[in-house]
Structure 1
Amino acid sequence: MTQPQTPLTYRDAGVDIDAGDALVDRIKPMAARTMREGVLAGIGGFGALFEVPKRYKEPVLVSGTDGVGTKLKLAFDWQRHDTVGIDLVAMSVNDILVQGAEPLFFLDYFACGKLSVDVAAQVVGGIARGCELSGCALIGGETAEMPGMYPDGEYDLAGFAVGAAEKSALIDGKSIQPGDVVLGLASSGAHSNGYSLLRKILQRAGAKPAQDFFGQPLADVVMAPTRLYVKPVLAVLKEFGSKVKGLAHITGGGLLDNVPRILQPGLQAKLQRDAWQMPKLFTWLQQQGGVADTEMYRVFNCGVGMVVVVSAQDAQAISQALTAQGEMVYSLGVIQGCQTTDAQTVVV
């Protein structure tokens, strides 16, 4: 007969329910700072409840989901956990913004092998900050502790944003035509794209996080969080409405692949390479990696995080309005016809 064994607990299997509860207690005040009109029930229930504000006459819900990509590997290696949550929010809310949507609420998914309450709280603190900066409520999420699924000290993130826009005010790019002007809004750095190549270049260059990079620690420059364009762009949309013909978030695929997503077949965005100054980070990455120009424009935002397409007659007024909202605005080029059936971007 087998001898009785010591009873097992979930903690013995690697899951600490008490740590999860402690994290929820840490998160609640952070989430409370993001509350806004429409929230009926937030963190703590099985499902969050949100009522679309009654000021919308014909609301269309616009949703987006994304992660942070391999930028997280640097967060692990360099112990930089406080800003990747901002990246997480920005990647989704900037996406739904391009269709004219106001972000309403956000949910996150945090998965790890062993839960560190301090690390998770730093990450969620960044998520809450991103929600505050974009005016959306952090109303729910999931923390999953899964022993054996992730190496020690690592985690993964996913985020989900839901916004609303008036049906009559949706931005789809269909009114864009030859002669329109392409404006660019400056990025804050590499945002959350191209980090697999970026990390490869850092490795080749033997770069260290604390080394001086034009007066700043390299880690500060590389880990700068994604810029949130929500409030400035929404303010301009409120003022100019349909005069903003198209918006493109410059994420994976860079300038070459993202701008054509809002163009009709037979159109191309012709951008002038000297219309904006590429930030030192991208110049350094290109030099250290020997990266070709076309590859740079396909992988990185190269200093432009959002593109705005307007008519030539409205370009100055809208540029000035965006500048007044705190954005650095570049006149990148023009829309013109092309011989190909597919829309495209060219940088000349």
Structure 2
Amino acid sequence: MNRDTYLSAGVDRDAAQAAKESIIDIASKTLQKEVVGGVGFFGGMYELQGYNRPVLVSSTDSPGTKLRIANLTGRFDTVGVDLVNHCVNDVFVSGAKPIFFLDYIGVGSLDTKKVEDLVAGAAKACQEVGCSLIGGETAELPGIYTGNEFDMAGFAVGVVEKDKIINGSDILPGDVLLGLVSSGLHTNGYSLARKVFNLEADPSVLNGKIGNLDRSLGESLMEPHRCYYPLLEPVLPLIKGMSHITGGGIPENMPRILPSGLGARFDKSTWTVPSIFNLIQETGNVEEAEMFRVFNMGIGMVLVCDPSKVQDICSLVPECMIIGEVIAEQEIII
């Protein structure tokens, strides 16, 4: 009589243990002095130090269907970078310093090398912002995921002094909008991009250059999500509000930081829309309004400041560019 085992059910505990040991080694390199007990305990511990009235700021997200592009290209070392940078940006717009991060990986069948690449990317991004990869979960879920399918999500926690929270509450009409360019699609709009390029039917298109792209389509789509924290940390005292342009684009993300009754007018002639967005629009015959609702269209972060602070901010962050202004009408004009 055959005896059922966990392995025969699709879960390889030996591979899981090997992956766990590798992950602990990778994550341990990110730990800051505030982490208590290292990585591998049931819960990650962090001793908050040096704050008077600390407020914790949390965010969770995923790279979305960019994961499908990763599978089609076989590239997994930047997915963790996408994940961390997206979450860190979301935490940072309130003025918070990212302090620790946790990840979740779900797979149908455990591929140790793939998992190592995913975690190594997250660790790299954490190290670049002084954030500890304090723990996570890797789940082998046969029957939920099939073949090489996988999912990845992350959770960032930051801290800010209560009297230094940036929430846009003091934004006024006439305040200036400063833009910072994105590195590409970041982590949003990939379902539309996949449909436009018919990638499920012909993934080989990812290997070639199309239109005015300066590299392959796959490389363009896999460009990592940019992190703005190191660049903008020095100018936090000069900023009234920040909007991370993610899903929903400028039209849906700008209102999240504006006081009731206010809106924003953007001058889209002030920045160059990257070729990848033009290619998507032309290939899929996508209306411009839809493009701005789905993609960041080349602007990854918008800062709001008093007109008197523009010169100071631009001197510290030269790539900042004036792209619009706050208006007294509750609408977003692009």
**TM-score, normalization by structure 2:** 0.96
CA contact (8 A) 1:257 1:344 kept: no
Q: 1:271 aligns with which of 236, 259, 266?
A: 266
Structure 1 CA distance for aligned equivalents of residues 31 and 78 of structure 2: 20
Aligned equivalent of 2:323: 332
Aligned AA (1:222): L
CA contact (8 A) 1:133 1:228 kept: no
Residue 309 (1) aligns with residue 309 (2): no
Q: In the TM superposition, what is the alpha-carbon distance from 1:88 to its structure 2 partner? A: 0.9
Structure 2 CA distance for aligned equivalents of residues 267 and 112 of structure 1: 45
Q: 1:175 aligns with which of 150, 167, 170?
A: 170
Structure 1 CA distance for aligned equivalents of residues 146 and 2 of structure 2: 28
Residue 26 (1) aligns with residue 22 (2): yes
Per-residue deviation, residues 163-220 of structure 1 (Å, max 9, x unmatched): 1000000011011001110001111100000111111111189671111253312211
Aligned equivalent of 1:131: 126
Q: In the TM superposition, what is the alpha-carbon distance from 1:126 to its structure 2 partner? A: 0.8
Aligned AA (1:106): F
Aligned AA (2:26): M
Aligned AA (1:332): I
Structure 2 CA distance for aligned equivalents of residues 236 and 18 of structure 1: 49
Residue 185 (1) aligns with residue 180 (2): yes
Structure 2 CA distance for aligned equivalents of residues 277 and 229 of structure 1: 19
Structure 1 CA distance for aligned equivalents of residues 88 and 66 of structure 2: 18
CA contact (8 A) 1:66 1:160 kept: yes
Q: In the TM superposition, what is the alpha-carbon distance from 1:236 to its structure 2 partner? A: 2.0
In structure 1, list runs of 5 or more residues that go unmatched: none
Aligned AA (1:25): E
Aligned AA (1:219): G
Per-residue deviation, residues 324-347 of structure 1 (Å, max 9, x unmatched): xxxx32211111111xxxx43211
SS at match of 1:175: coil
**TM-score, normalization by structure 1:** 0.92
Aligned AA (1:150): Y
Q: In the TM superposition, what is the alpha-carbon distance from 1:8 to its structure 2 partner? A: 2.3
Mean CA deviation greater in 175-184 or 285-294: 285-294
Aligned AA (1:142): E
Q: In the TM superposition, what is the alpha-carbon distance from 1:231 to its structure 2 partner? A: 1.4
Aligned equivalent of 1:345: 332
Structure 2 CA distance for aligned equivalents of residues 236 and 264 of structure 1: 22
Runs of 4+ in 1 over 4 A off after TM superposition: 204-207
Structure 1 CA distance for aligned equivalents of residues 244 and 89 of structure 2: 6
In structure 2, list runs of 5 or more residues that go unmatched: none
What is the aligned-residue RMSD (CA, Å)?
A: 1.4
Count of aligned pairs: 330
Aligned equivalent of 1:282: 277
Q: In the TM superposition, what is the alpha-carbon distance from 1:68 to its structure 2 partner? A: 1.0
SS at match of 1:164: strand
Residue 102 (1) aligns with residue 86 (2): no
Mean CA deviation greater in 88-97 or 36-45: 36-45
Q: 1:59 aligns with which of 54, 58, 64?
A: 54
Per-residue deviation, residues 1-46 of structure 1 (Å, max 9, x unmatched): xxxx232221111111111111112112321221113111232110
Q: In the TM superposition, what is the alpha-carbon distance from 1:225 to its structure 2 partner? A: 0.7
5 Å matches for 1:40-79? 40-53=36-49, 55-79=50-74
Residue 14 (1) aligns with residue 10 (2): yes
Structure 1 CA distance for aligned equivalents of residues 292 and 209 of structure 2: 26
SS at match of 2:206: coil
Structure 1 CA distance for aligned equivalents of residues 95 and 124 of structure 2: 22
Q: In the TM superposition, what is the alpha-carbon distance from 1:289 to its structure 2 partner? A: 1.2
Residue 229 (1) aligns with residue 228 (2): yes
Residue 217 (1) aligns with residue 213 (2): no
Aligned AA (1:196): S
SS at match of 1:138: strand
Aligned AA (1:224): E
